[in-house]
Structure 1
Amino acid sequence: MQHVTRIALSTLACLVRLAATAAAEELENVVGEELPSGARVAADSGNPAAGNASAAASELSLSNYKMELLLVALAAGMVVNYFRGSRQNADIARAWEAPISQALHANFSLVGDGSQVLERDSPADMLVYASGRRHCKFAQGHLMLRARQDPIASLNDLIAKTHEKLEIEVTMDDEAFSGFVFAAVPHRRAKAVGRDRYDVSTFAKLTSNGKISSRFAIFSESADATAQLLGSGLEQLLGDNDSLLEEIYITDCPSEKPETHEFKRDKKLLATIRLPAPADDGIKRVRETMDFVFYLVDYIAEGIAMRPESVRKLAKAREEAFKEYARQAEQEKQEALAKIVADRRRAELEEVDKMSPDQRRKWEEKERKRKLKKEQSKRTRRVK
């Protein structure tokens, strides 16, 4: 903290020095300009030096630099707040790094880059990566703290009652489970999620469950998959009003509507965990919630066995939803094929132009036979 204070004071000193320089420049301008009327009277009375000094003192009065001083104080305050807020977030991140690291190392063989677990993306954002686990390709984490270094963002967080949270996104193996969409989100966000997320709005519907806490809204595509998923212990977690689990998504489709047919359909498990104060009890609860999220990876892959009719229904829904993209892909394929044929024909005609008359006659005869054979083939197909 002493280092931060020294930096802030140095910055403040620079700002004051700049203000003093500006004042000195203005003094030079004042002395060089025509004297005010009061100073002129004093000069006429036989004391010109006193008149100049009086005018300069009047111009350099602190009351004339209220705006400049206010801006200097504001800038200094923002600098101090930035370093202090960044330092506070760094301390909080260090407090969470150990339990996050323990949970990840217990479930993955590779965590972070080998030297550190949390990678600083901004003063309020830390990232983490892990891989080397069955049923999944990799996992990414995002530790989202309050923007204490930014007064405006801090005020917005205070008004919106934003919690600090940890987002975990697990990209599962392609064959890990039959594709379905499930989501549990806070009720206040249900409308936005049902409108803005492509996977939820396209495939899932809002459902009710008496055993789930009223603070959650459930989106389900398959009753079969949802019943088995809730049987994993997720129902108890979502039924606890004090649960740290804020949101969870299980999906095999993109969250945003694809613009082209070339889009990834990664199967993902996404969970958002609310972070309490990093005390012993809070750390324990976060660790338990993280362990449950990673347990779900295995449960989804090994514990959910949907009926064949449910799987067919899910596949049909995707076929219908992606029909437009299938047509687009086929059209692009036909256009690419037509371009290849046209390029070959153009190259062939260019070669014909270079032929001798005798070679050209042979080519024309060959071309005539090819067209005749093609017409005969068409007539044969029509007869059949």
Structure 2
Amino acid sequence: MGIQEQIERYWIELISVWVGFIFLITLIRGVRKNYEFSISLFETLSDFLESQFSRSGFIKKSFWSDSWSQFDIFSTGRRNCKFMYINVICRPRQDLLTGVLLQPILRNYDKIYVEIPLDSMDPIVLFICNKRYLKETFVEYPEIEIHSTQKKLNNVPQNFVVYSNSNACIEFLLVSGFFSKFVNSPIVEKLVSYIYISDVTTCPRATNSYGKVTSVIKCCFKLPSEGDLDAMKEVHGDKHYILRNLINLCDFLPTVKLPEKTLQHIAKNRVEIEKVTSRIDEGKIQEKIEAKRREKIKQEALKVSRMTPKEQKKYQEKKERQNARSRIKVKKIRG
């Protein structure tokens, strides 16, 4: 059999091998490029992190990691916060489909997620989000719509929406001061997806404590380009402008003391929310119990339908004896 005949006979297998080879090469190159990219970012941030924290490090993952496009930077040893966790989310360069072929359509980008759990903070919920990412962020943090309402503000960029649990939070943080100036800066409007300050959310990404509520600052933003870094350096004198302001915020929030009337109003609202949540949870429990009861009846009916008439008669007599014993026990308890 000639080479041409072999190609004609096994052309599907040859194409499959070739495509698999391309996928493998893309995977290896993409993982390596994302890793090198994250290491380079850590080296860029290292001086800044060392000036703010006593310890910081790049969390190295094995090749067979859960995600080949996400890498972690962890810093600790600073007042007013437990740690700062940075999750570098690279675009999926290792994925031939979404990271290469469909990249012009999907337009994936590199981004940074920051999580800073605070030592202490008044009951503040403040959520500032680019309208483009509002829906997906509500899915990730459903408590925002439960504990806060949308505020109509003229002193924030038009493409941002603001949610808060009190007007006092807005006055302290967004009416004046460094944070108001930060939110209104063009670089934040361009890069930041959301900033979330809350004492009723969890801090799961670094700790896996999905059920533990804590006070935390969360922020997600696009990785600045070289042009963005130059602009931050020129306008603000700091190429780490976003991270520095988040850290400044973690020093400022413990000093914010809400008025007593506001604290009472928030406490009252949270009691009502807890009552409603408890009723919903109780209803869900009853639904599960009823579903189990129905499933048990269904399984029992299926079991009986497969019995012979003689077996069905014995089974019915057994059930009647069990019911009779149950009635006797109930009478004894009531007596």
TM-score, normalised via structure 2 length: 0.70
Count matched residues.
262
The match for 1:131 is 76
* Residues 58 and 290 of structure 1: CA distance in aligned 2, closer, same or farther (over 3 Å): closer
The one-letter code sitting in structure 1 at the alignment partner of 2:195 is I
Shift of 1:254: 2.6
Please give the residue correspondences for 1:170-189 in structure 2 after superposition, counting only pairs within 5 Å: 170-173=116-119, 176-189=120-133
The match for 2:259 is 307
Instruction: Give the Cα–Cα distance (whole angstroms) in 1 for the partners of residues 3 and 141 of structure 2.
Output: 65
- Greater strand content: 2
The match for 1:240 is 185
* Residues 207 and 161 of structure 1: CA distance in aligned 2, closer, same or farther (over 3 Å): farther
SS in 1 for 2:187: coil
Instruction: Give the Cα–Cα distance (whole angstroms) in 2 for the partners of residues 297 and 196 of structure 1.
Output: 22
Larger Rg: 1
Shift of 1:234: 2.5
Instruction: Give the Cα–Cα distance (whole angstroms) in 2 for the partners of residues 107 and 77 of structure 1.
Output: 44
After superposition, the C-alpha distances for 1:330-379 in whole angstroms (9 at most, x for unaligned) are: xxxxxxxxxxxxxxxxxxxxxxxxxxxxxxxxxxxxxxxxxxxxxxxxxx
SS in 1 for 2:10: helix
SS in 2 for 1:103: helix
The match for 1:276 is 224
Match 1:119 to one of 60, 77, 87: 60
Shift of 1:272: 1.3
Instruction: Give the Cα–Cα distance (whole angstroms) in 2 for the partners of residues 219 and 204 of structure 1.
Output: 6
Are the aligned partners of 1:130 and 1:138 in contact in 2 as well (CA < 8 Å)?
yes
Match 1:160 to one of 106, 119, 124: 106
Ranges in structure 1 where 5+ consecutive residues have no aligned partner? 1-55, 257-261, 330-384
Match 1:86 to one of 21, 25, 31: 31
Instruction: Give the Cα–Cα distance (whole angstroms) in 2 for the partners of residues 157 and 214 of structure 1.
Output: 28
Shift of 1:222: 1.2
Shift of 1:255: 5.9
SS in 1 for 2:201: coil
After superposition, the C-alpha distances for 1:275-294 in whole angstroms (9 at most, x for unaligned) are: 13357627956512111110
SS in 2 for 1:148: coil
SS in 2 for 1:130: strand
Are the aligned partners of 1:144 and 1:164 in contact in 2 as well (CA < 8 Å)?
yes
Instruction: Give the Cα–Cα distance (whole angstroms) in 2 for the partners of residues 283 and 163 of structure 1.
Output: 20
Shift of 1:266: 0.4
The match for 2:241 is 288
Instruction: Give the Cα–Cα distance (whole angstroms) in 1 for the partners of residues 103 and 143 of structure 2.
Output: 28
Ranges in structure 2 where 5+ consecutive residues have no aligned partner? 204-209, 282-335
Shift of 1:150: 0.7
Shift of 1:145: 0.6
Instruction: Give the Cα–Cα distance (whole angstroms) in 1 for the partners of residues 38 and 6 of structure 2.
Output: 48
Q: CA RMSD for the aligned pairs? A: 2.9
After superposition, the C-alpha distances for 1:313-345 in whole angstroms (9 at most, x for unaligned) are: 11222222123677999xxxxxxxxxxxxxxxx
Instruction: Give the Cα–Cα distance (whole angstroms) in 2 for the partners of residues 58 and 196 of structure 1.
Output: 56
The one-letter code sitting in structure 2 at the alignment partner of 1:63 is E
Match 1:96 to one of 17, 34, 41: 41
Instruction: Give the Cα–Cα distance (whole angstroms) in 1 for the partners of residues 151 and 116 of structure 2.
Output: 25
Structure 1 residue ranges, 4+ long, deviating more than 6 angstroms after superposition: 325-329
Are the aligned partners of 1:96 and 1:278 in contact in 2 as well (CA < 8 Å)?
no
- Aligned identity (percent) is 21
Shift of 1:146: 0.8
TM-score, normalised via structure 1 length: 0.61
The one-letter code sitting in structure 1 at the alignment partner of 2:60 is E
Instruction: Give the Cα–Cα distance (whole angstroms) in 1 for the partners of residues 103 and 181 of structure 2.
Output: 30
Shift of 1:185: 1.0
Instruction: Give the Cα–Cα distance (whole angstroms) in 1 for the partners of residues 22 and 219 of structure 2.
Output: 37
The match for 1:208 is 152
Please give the residue correspondences for 1:307-346 in structure 2 after superposition, counting only pairs within 5 Å: 307-323=259-275
| Residue 251 (str. 1) matches residue 192 (str. 2) | no
The match for 1:264 is 212
